[in-house]
Structure 1
């Protein structure tokens, strides 16, 4: 730990690399959010692989490893790959995923061939171009890091300034055209920004892992929010945090590559988001499903006792009539008895007055739902969305009174519905 803090505070190279990967992570997260929502996630992967031949061409042209020139070469072939994918998709019957696979394979294969050619050059063994495949942030010098950092900062600023335009063109391109936005230019600009993001990150993360830097923070952010602005912010923070933590971990030992640790950090954050996010997390979904199953079991037990017309019923018989597991059945029974809806003595269940009212309310709501489905035109004016939002839970006395008043108006207009309703419940009324 002391070595880590010493590197951060005293080592200039560590500070520059940390800053560049931090900005790279933020830029990747911000651009990756739009790429994910535009369903262009794999384009980043294709661009990353397509940048390799451009790097090789630039080195063969210059004869030396000039980082700026290598980035220009990578950007050129990356843009060519991105626009080739769009051209194939728009002018042929080939789908986008097939076009991406085709372009990625061809460009990356060309890059591997050119790497072999570079190795045969007199200065090829000193080129270090292999670092671009898996990334090698430690090989960056101060000038390279400054270029990466400034470019990443510029990408963040441009995306922030054009946030509204990107938002509209992403979700509703037809509406964007209708209000006069240059949708074609915005798509061109976004693809260009995406390519530049990939290109500047190749040296730090590598060709193979750069796609993960674009998509993983965006997917993690998507678990936490439904707002685009919040998603972009969270994605940028996840990307920046991944870049910083991955860089710091790589400084703990010799020969540790920065790129893989950045991606692994982002993956850990993704796993945490996937498990623990409050709305979409797996744990949250499982808990909601268990809660919903318990609620359905509670409704079944109360309605079964109410529809039987008996005040008492044997526990064993009720369990046999249900399709509920023994564990859930016993848990729900305890809950109903704790609420005062049921009493149990010597294996006999007795429904209380409050339990009977609750069961009547359940039946009333369910029957209205069924009538709504059977007679959509007659009950079209009845707004029951608020009932559905309650997930058919028993409603309050005020809500039931409001619903009964609406149903009375409908019965006056369509008397046969009242007959249907009465026949379904054996002529009994509901006590409110």
Structure 2
């Protein structure tokens, strides 16, 4: 039976993961992944100062203190990169180490103080989700709802800031105010996650769900939804798994769950995943090998002015063209060539494939020769098959091909180019 405290922990970490996925999507697209790490480390001295001022572990005071030092850290980074030749990655590392060092100094000072309330304050380093109580969940829910609402209201502005800030500035968007809003959202998300994930791990909870979601879609709206679901699922799984043993810390398990979802996405995403890319590459290699084989056999017959190849000639063809017997067997298996009486020739379907493949190859060669003088709505490198050629360009290339007397000219008498869908 799951107790009330466990339900609060599960609800809190799921809410945190959901919110982190949404905010982290914008940070990921803006290549601000390390910024989340900097802000989480910069929050530590703010938490310590809030405790030193109030003398109690008050989450609202911690939120204000962490927001204060987080915003100072972000302003310091902008100041350093804007007023010096130091690059952003160097500035990020500098601010991270300085603020984290200050936080450790303050934390050590607090631990040596006589204040008994300081017990457990060091848990903010690695997080202690099990310490979430109902009041913490209420604060987390309110702040998360506020963050999601702001993202919804300013979605268009944040989207433009993520993809094209120069254009946003040119059309009059208040870029500095939007940048401040984004940093405020990021800092607030980091702060509310410190109790669950801690200073060290909060950056992973921000970026990993967004990075995983990026594998599944090309649209920002879908990416945000997927990232939110991945983040929420990571929080749910991490909290549930950590209940199996008292030795399992919830924060690290949440991050590991998020990482597992990332690797699953990297492998299994339908278009951008490694498995899908591997299958696509295999199909592409097979297609290219088939096209090369068809072209080599067709051009050999064209040079010899006959519609068949003696099987005794195959070893010489394979040697000159660097083909393999397996490639010949592959197109034979597809029914494009057949053997009869010691000769190899194309089937009717094979003639059509060989003619069209050779024609397309020669059209591309002509296009590359006249690329600087021919106008085309699409670049040469993006055309993968003859159907993608604009009709006017195709006619021009065909004329040039005839002019150079380089058009394919070998076909059985019962076939004509028009019957096989060629450009002639």
Indicate whether the TM-score tops 0.5.
yes
- Relative to structure 1, is the Cα distance of residues 26 and 377 closer, same or farther in structure 2, using a 3 angstrom cutoff? same
Equivalent residues of 2:130, 2:250 under 8 A apart = yes
State the shift of 1:348 in Å. 5.8
State the shift of 1:180 in Å. 3.0
- CA displacement 1:280-334 (0-9 Å, x = unmatched): 101111111111110011011111011112522545444434556x6xx62x544
Query: Secondary structure at the residue paired with 1:106?
Result: helix
Equivalent residues of 1:51, 1:73 under 8 A apart = yes
Q: Which residue is equivalent to 2:309? A: 312
- CA displacement 1:145-199 (0-9 Å, x = unmatched): 2112211121111111111111122212232233332221111001011000001
- Relative to structure 1, is the Cα distance of residues 348 and 91 closer, same or farther in structure 2, using a 3 angstrom cutoff? farther
Q: Which residue is equivalent to 1:351? A: 346
Q: Which residue is equivalent to 1:211? A: 203
Q: Which residue is equivalent to 1:3? A: none
Q: Which residue is equivalent to 1:342? A: 337
Query: Secondary structure at the residue paired with 2:338?
Result: strand
Instruction: Supply the distance in 1 between the matched residues of 2:321 and 2:201 (Cα, whole angstroms).
Output: 52
Equivalent residues of 1:301, 1:318 under 8 A apart = no
- Relative to structure 1, is the Cα distance of residues 227 and 173 closer, same or farther in structure 2, using a 3 angstrom cutoff? same
Among candidates 374, 382, 389, match of residue 379 of structure 1: 374
> What residue ranges of structure 2 are gaps of 5+ in the alignment?
419-424
Instruction: Supply the distance in 1 between the matched residues of 2:93 and 2:130 (Cα, whole angstroms).
Output: 31
Equivalent residues of 1:17, 1:137 under 8 A apart = yes
Instruction: Supply the distance in 1 between the matched residues of 2:274 and 2:140 (Cα, whole angstroms).
Output: 37
Q: Which residue is equivalent to 2:266? A: 274
Among candidates 62, 66, 80, match of residue 70 of structure 1: 62
- CA displacement 1:382-402 (0-9 Å, x = unmatched): x5669945x23x75xxx89x8
Instruction: Supply the distance in 1 between the matched residues of 2:98 and 2:367 (Cα, whole angstroms).
Output: 57
Q: Higher mean Cα deviation, 36-45 or 370-379?
A: 370-379
Q: Which residue is equivalent to 1:154? A: 146
State the shift of 1:143 in Å. 1.3
Q: Which residue is equivalent to 1:367? A: 362
Equivalent residues of 2:331, 2:337 under 8 A apart = yes
Instruction: Supply the distance in 2 between the matched residues of 1:265 and 1:37 (Cα, whole angstroms).
Output: 22
State the shift of 1:417 in Å. 5.5
State the shift of 1:63 in Å. 2.1
Q: Which residue is equivalent to 1:103? A: 95
Cα RMSD of the aligned pairs, angstroms, is: 2.6
Instruction: Supply the distance in 2 between the matched residues of 1:165 and 1:29 (Cα, whole angstroms).
Output: 18
Query: Secondary structure at the residue paired with 1:350?
Result: strand
Q: Which residue is equivalent to 1:291? A: 283
Instruction: Supply the distance in 2 between the matched residues of 1:294 and 1:16 (Cα, whole angstroms).
Output: 55
Instruction: Supply the distance in 1 between the matched residues of 2:342 and 2:231 (Cα, whole angstroms).
Output: 59
State the shift of 1:218 in Å. 0.4
Instruction: Supply the distance in 2 between the matched residues of 1:29 and 1:236 (Cα, whole angstroms).
Output: 4
Query: Secondary structure at the residue paired with 1:306?
Result: helix
Q: Which residue is equivalent to 2:403? A: 419
Instruction: Supply the distance in 2 between the matched residues of 1:239 and 1:225 (Cα, whole angstroms).
Output: 16
- Relative to structure 1, is the Cα distance of residues 350 and 159 closer, same or farther in structure 2, using a 3 angstrom cutoff? same
Q: Higher mean Cα deviation, 191-200 or 57-66?
A: 57-66
Instruction: Supply the distance in 2 between the matched residues of 1:135 and 1:317 (Cα, whole angstroms).
Output: 71
Q: Which residue is equivalent to 1:431? A: 417
Equivalent residues of 2:238, 2:250 under 8 A apart = yes
Equivalent residues of 1:27, 1:156 under 8 A apart = yes
Aligned runs of 1:128-167 on 2, under 5 Å?
Answer: 128-167=120-159
State the shift of 1:244 in Å. 1.1
Among candidates 235, 250, 254, match of residue 258 of structure 1: 250
Instruction: Supply the distance in 1 between the matched residues of 2:132 and 2:271 (Cα, whole angstroms).
Output: 41
Q: Which residue is equivalent to 1:39? A: 31
| TM-score using structure 1 length | 0.87
Query: Secondary structure at the residue paired with 1:209?
Result: helix
Q: Which residue is equivalent to 2:421? A: none
Instruction: Supply the distance in 2 between the matched residues of 1:37 and 1:226 (Cα, whole angstroms).
Output: 12
Instruction: Supply the distance in 2 between the matched residues of 1:377 and 1:359 (Cα, whole angstroms).
Output: 29
Q: Higher mean Cα deviation, 146-155 or 44-53?
A: 146-155
| TM-score using structure 2 length | 0.88
Q: Which residue is equivalent to 2:212? A: 220
- CA displacement 1:106-140 (0-9 Å, x = unmatched): 11111111221111101268431110011101112
Equivalent residues of 2:56, 2:117 under 8 A apart = no
Instruction: Supply the distance in 2 between the matched residues of 1:16 and 1:35 (Cα, whole angstroms).
Output: 28
Instruction: Supply the distance in 1 between the matched residues of 2:128 and 2:397 (Cα, whole angstroms).
Output: 73
Instruction: Supply the distance in 1 between the matched residues of 2:74 and 2:341 (Cα, whole angstroms).
Output: 74
